[in-house]
């Protein structure tokens, strides 16, 4: 059985990650909702993930 790569390693962080994802979605104009989002395109989902990575890199560079 294959392991899932998108599991939360720190369960206490799940709520924060969900908030972060919703903020990123709003910033790029994607109508993300709680629960199932299978109606979104790959491009929309990718833009949310890309925005999250962009913000994480900016935060890391700021703390160097």
What letter would DSSP give residue 48?
H
Phi (first) and psi of residue 40, to 5 degrees: -80, 150
> What's the pTM?
0.78
Q: Report pLDDT for 2.
A: 57
Q: Report pLDDT for 6.
A: 72
In the chain, which residues have pLDDT < 70?
1-5
Q: Report pLDDT for 64.
A: 87
Angle between helices 42-62 and 14-28 in degrees, nearest 10: 110
Q: Report pLDDT for 46.
A: 96
């Amino acid at each position: 059985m294959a392991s899932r790569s998108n599991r939360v390693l720190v369960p206490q962080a799940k709520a924060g990650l969900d908030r972060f994802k919703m903020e990123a979605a709003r910033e790029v104009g994607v109508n993300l909702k709680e629960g199932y989002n299978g109606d979104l395109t790959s491009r929309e989902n990718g833009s949310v993930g890309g925005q999250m990575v962009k913000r994480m890199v900016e935060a890391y560079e700021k703390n160097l």
